Structure 1
């Protein structure tokens, strides 16, 4: 997917991007590739693949959810900034908080945000399990997102505690989403969530099936979740 195809596909979804936003995506790509030579940010570095499998894939959430409102979004385990920073470029008013367990990635994200001129972004070096029990962040966010981080049962324990009641957890998954979701139903309910819907689609140019799981936060998460670092992954609910 080249830049023109990227713009065209967004246009078909009713999203028109400005010249400034185009420049920000182009600069994002250049910085990503440059820093990827020094640290492992992504295995995908060919430009058309980055546009298809990182930039476009990240913004597909906006096809099914309204980001035009004033939202505070938390991205858990964003790595190189996906999906939240491509969404931030399209919707500059959205406040974005990213938590990631690797300091080197946080250093990259701070540099990237400065170079792109992104405002209203915060980056935290922390384990999601510890971040989720911090009163400063627990039950605070309107939207919590995660993309290709862990199984849905594990993600639910890491993400749902961060959501305010009435907020939405958006899990961006590959082709195996339905099986994962079936295994995660008890955990989602225990943690205060209810599955709203799953949107299934394919990325353009045969770049694979995607599923976006939308989970509504109906009540506060019990205080004992998330459990200690490493436990959710080793012993999913």
Structure 2
């Protein structure tokens, strides 16, 4: 089986239906990922079946019909190789997407993917989250903020919640320690204007590991003091 076959099988088992055009876009994305991964470190996972399940389907695990209203503004903080932002954009082309990453090499890769796949309404921004969140054009401007495999939730919340508009949602895609992280983040979420976390367990096809998406609603504006300067959230979590 090739990558498209693995992806079609995995998405169908997960309950997601992709068009032939979307499968072609995902396939092109995969080819570019493997090609660029030889030049810059994008992912440790390159086998087609593993990428299909652990990157592509996992990225789509935060999709909910009532959350992804037509034309919503989404930012993927610390997007890395484009997960979960690009898979979400392929699946829901109408979203307005910003891919934010601190490494310019990755931004060049992401821009290539966007161009090659013909994705519209996508901006790739080179910046640290702590700095970008102080930009008036970005702060509290997004209906949905997504992030995957960036930092523990108490730290990640400080990076991400400042981007969420009041009433919007922050969705963190997490691994097996999601419940522990959610508990540890409660103080930070309260300080930053977020609701208590809602953990939705995820079961990916063919995998037995524990995963979840943690959803946090932005209940009030984030105080201007946050995020703190670069490096501080990680060294001294709230």
For residues 12 and 147 of structure 1, what CA distance do their matches in structure 2 show?
22
For residues 54 and 14 of structure 1, what CA distance do their matches in structure 2 show?
16
**Corresponding position of 2:44:** 43
**Corresponding position of 1:159:** 160
How far 1:133 moved relative to its partner? 1.0
**Corresponding position of 1:232:** 233
SS at match of 2:63: helix
**Corresponding position of 1:92:** 93
For residues 34 and 14 of structure 1, what CA distance do their matches in structure 2 show?
29
**Corresponding position of 2:112:** 111
**Corresponding position of 2:205:** 204
Please give the per-residue CA displacement for 1:135-178, whole angstroms capped at 9, x wherever unaligned: 11001000001101000000100100000000000000000011
Asked if the contact 1:154–1:236 (Cα under 8 Å) also holds between the matched residues in 2, the reply is yes
Please give the per-residue CA displacement for 1:90-110, whole angstroms capped at 9, x wherever unaligned: 000001101100000000000
**Corresponding position of 1:31:** 32
**Corresponding position of 1:176:** 177
**Corresponding position of 2:193:** 192
For residues 181 and 96 of structure 1, what CA distance do their matches in structure 2 show?
26
Name the stretch that deviates more: 41-50 or 9-18.
9-18
How far 1:44 moved relative to its partner? 0.4
**Structure 2 gaps, min length 5:** none
For residues 44 and 140 of structure 1, what CA distance do their matches in structure 2 show?
33
TM-score (norm 1): 0.95
For residues 213 and 145 of structure 1, what CA distance do their matches in structure 2 show?
10
How far 1:70 moved relative to its partner? 2.0
Asked if the contact 1:143–1:170 (Cα under 8 Å) also holds between the matched residues in 2, the reply is yes
SS at match of 1:156: helix
Asked if the contact 1:159–1:169 (Cα under 8 Å) also holds between the matched residues in 2, the reply is yes
**Residues matched between the structures, number:** 237
**Structure 1 gaps, min length 5:** none
Asked if the contact 2:10–2:53 (Cα under 8 Å) also holds between the matched residues in 1, the reply is no
Q: RMSD across aligned C-alpha pairs, in angstroms?
A: 1.6
Name the stretch that deviates more: 209-218 or 61-70.
61-70
Asked if the contact 2:59–2:83 (Cα under 8 Å) also holds between the matched residues in 1, the reply is yes
How far 1:207 moved relative to its partner? 5.5
Q: 1:13 to 1:201 in 2, by over 3 A?
A: closer
How far 1:8 moved relative to its partner? 4.1
Asked if the contact 2:174–2:212 (Cα under 8 Å) also holds between the matched residues in 1, the reply is yes
TM-score (norm 2): 0.95
Q: 1:11 to 1:67 in 2, by over 3 A?
A: farther
How far 1:19 moved relative to its partner? 1.1
